[in-house]
Structure 1
Amino acid sequence: MEKFMLGRKAGMTQLFDENGIAIPATVIDCGPLVVIQNKKPETDGFKAIKVGYGEVSARKVNKPDKGQYAKAGVEPRYLMHEFMTDADYALGQEIRVSDMFQTGDRVDVSGVSKGKG
């Protein structure tokens, strides 16, 4: 099963190794994802899920997105993203970090910079 998660940078901290050397670490706030749509090979040609992340006021969401959230029966979210996966999820189901990862798992992280230069 493909593992995935969305989050925001919450800040920085430091961890110390056995020699007392400080190692910088980024803290990422990964709130629960909510399943908005299931895509199936029969109808869409591939298997994926569309998830929403974060809290946002309903008035800041455009009409097409409001329709997708209403169809799924969930509150509007700040961000909508699609992941290819073979796992089956129900509409409106919450996906938490603890459901996806175990302690010690290696992860690949990618981010979007604010582009200040």
Structure 2
Amino acid sequence: MAVSDSWTHPGDIGRASYNDNGDSYWVCDIKTDDIGVVGRINVKQADGSWHHFPYVRDGNGNNGDCSTPNNVDVIRENAYYTFTVCLQNTSGGTPYYCRESPQIPGA
């Protein structure tokens, strides 16, 4: 069974989403301001460590146009995962005001 889920940063700055059918994740900037957001998926490994996939960025503001999906091979099917969403001033800037979702069970 494919999993599809999303999580919104508690500061309502952005939302990260994942679709297991195709192993893709993306982030949407949901606040109208001059600051972009980055997001990623983190997958719990068999040894208990976490694999943090690269950040994807949406710097277009709240225009309904999200980042390009990042297609990855999650590998650990049925593993727990989390989302991380942060603010980022420019595409080369340092992510800040990061928050991580609660653990979400895979399927």
Q: By the TM > 0.5 criterion, same fold? A: no
> Normalised by the size of structure 1, how large is the TM-score?
0.28
More strand by share: 2
Give the alignment's TM-score, normalised by structure 2.
Answer: 0.30
Q: Which structure: larger Rg? A: 1
